[in-house]
Amino acid sequence: MILIDALYINKGGGAVLLQYLIEKILAHPKRDQFFFLLDPRFEKPAALDKNFVVINNKMSERIRFYKANRKSYTKVFCFANTPPPVNLAAPCYTYFHNQKLLEAPKQKFNPKFAKLYLKYLVTKLYNKNSDYYIVQTPHMVAELVASGLKDKAHCLMIPFYDSSKYKVVHPPFSDRVKDEFVFISNPSPQKNYPTLLDAWEHLLAAGHRPLLHITIDDTAPELLQRVDALNTAGARIVNHVYLDPKDLYFNCPYLIFPSVMESFGLPLIEAVDSGMKVLASDLPYVYDVIKPSYTFKPHDKESIAGAVLNALTTELPFPQVVTKDHVDNLIALLLAP
C-alpha cells in the first residue's frame, strides 16, 4: 500500500493540485494500492469512498498515526512540505511547494516570520526522513539545494497540474473588454498587493482608470481600506474577496501577476489556457512555466503601471506555456517496485 500523506492541505493551490492528483489516482487501474491521509478541512472528492482516513491536523496526531502504521506502507508521498515525523523503512518522497518556507531562516528574527520559521525548523528536523523532495520547477530545485536540505541528486522535478481544466471554449481575445486586468490571489505579503495598488494609484494620478479585479479577504484590513480609498478617489477596483476565477479568466483580456515569490505559479498557466495575455514579474518562477506577454519590475510601481499602459496601447503577443503535466510520471514513480 502506498500512503499519500496530505495532512495540512486544505485550500489554495495545494488543494487544487491534491484534488487533481486524487482524481488521476482514482482513475488508475491500481487505485486500490493507494491510501490517503487527509486534513479535516479538505473537501475530498465524492469518488474517494474508501482507503482514506481523516485525522486532526496536529503534529501529535500525525506522529501517532505514523507510529501506529510504521510498517503498513511500501512507499510514502508527503504532500505538504514536511517529511514524516518518524523514520520509515519504506522509501519516502516529499512534495515541496512553499518557497517562502525556505526564506524563513533569513527572517528568523522578524516576529512576522516566527510561525513560518517554526515550520521550517520542523521540516529541517525531519529532513532525514525523506529520501527525495519532489518539486515543480528548476528554480525550486535551486532553492532547495541552496537551503542545504537536499543535494541536487535527491531533488526530483516532476511538474503536474490539470492541463485540461481551462482548455475549453472561451470568448476570443478580441471580444473582451479592453481595459480589464485580473489578479486572483490571497493577500499574503509575497503576492505584492501593496505595490500593485501603488501602481493603480499612479495610473489614476496620470488620468488612467483601468479596471482591476482582485480577491482580498478580511485578513488584510489595511489593504481593504486602501482599496476603498482608491475607489473613492476615482479608481476602478473590484474586490471579489473569493470566487472561482474561470469566468474572469474567460472574459477579461489581461492577467497581471506582481507576486515576488512562487513555487509554481499555477494561475499563470491557467490564464494562458484561458486565452488571456499575461503581464508578470520579471522573475525566474515566471519563465519556468510560461513565456509571458510582457514583464515588469515587481517592486516598482512605475514599472507595473508602464506595463499596464503598454498593454492598453500596444498589441502584445500571446503568452505560451513552457512546462508540461507529468502527473502520470509521478504516479508511475510511486507504483514502481
Is residue 231 located within the same domain as residue 292? yes
Domain closes at, from 102, 124, 157: 157
% helix, strand, coil for the chain, step of 5: 40, 15, 40
**Cα–Cα distance measured from residue 304 to residue 301, given in angstroms and rounded to the nearest whole number:** 5
Predicted local confidence at residue 192, as pLDDT = 98
**Cα–Cα distance measured from residue 86 to residue 92, given in angstroms and rounded to the nearest whole number:** 11
Predicted local confidence at residue 40, as pLDDT = 96
The total domain count for the chain is 2
Predicted local confidence at residue 307, as pLDDT = 98
Within-domain flag for 183: yes
Is residue 234 located within the same domain as residue 297? yes
Is residue 118 located within the same domain as residue 60? yes
Within-domain flag for 334: no
Within-domain flag for 163: no
Is residue 239 located within the same domain as residue 191? yes
* Residues 6 or more apart whose Cβ sits within 8 Å of residue 120: 101, 102, 104, 105
Within-domain flag for 162: no
Predicted local confidence at residue 323, as pLDDT = 96
Is residue 135 located within the same domain as residue 263? no
Within-domain flag for 221: yes
pTM for this model (two decimals): 0.90
Is residue 103 located within the same domain as residue 181? no
Is residue 11 located within the same domain as residue 143? yes
Contact in structure between 72 and 88 (CB atoms under 8 Å): no
Domain closes at, from 114, 133, 157: 157
Predicted local confidence at residue 109, as pLDDT = 83
**Segments forming the whole domain that contains residue 288:** 173-321
- Locus of grid cell 519563465: 287
Within-domain flag for 168: no
**What's the whole-number mean pLDDT along residues 302-307?**
98
What sections of the chain are H helices per DSSP? 12-26, 59-68, 99-103, 114-125, 138-147, 193-205, 221-233, 246-251, 266-273, 284-289, 301-313, 327-335
Domain closes at, from 110, 130, 157: 157
Contact in structure between 309 and 203 (CB atoms under 8 Å): yes
- For the beta carbon of residue 222, count every other beta carbon within 10 angstroms: 10
Tens digit of each residue's pLDDT (9 = 90 or more) over 60-105 = 999 999 999 999 999 999 998 899 999 999 999 999 988 889 988 8
Tens digit of each residue's pLDDT (9 = 90 or more) over 209-238 = 999 999 999 999 999 999 999 999 999 999
Within-domain flag for 329: no
Is residue 150 located within the same domain as residue 209? no
Within-domain flag for 261: yes
CATH code of residue 34: 3.40.50.2000
Is residue 125 located within the same domain as residue 255? no
Is residue 122 located within the same domain as residue 7? yes
Is residue 181 located within the same domain as residue 302? yes
Instruction: Let me know the angle formed at the C-alpha of 95 by 81 and 100, rounded to the nearest 5 degrees.
Output: 45
Tens digit of each residue's pLDDT (9 = 90 or more) over 239-275 = 999 998 999 999 999 999 999 999 899 999 999 999 9
Is residue 125 located within the same domain as residue 20? yes
Q: Is the pLDDT of residue 310 over 80?
A: yes
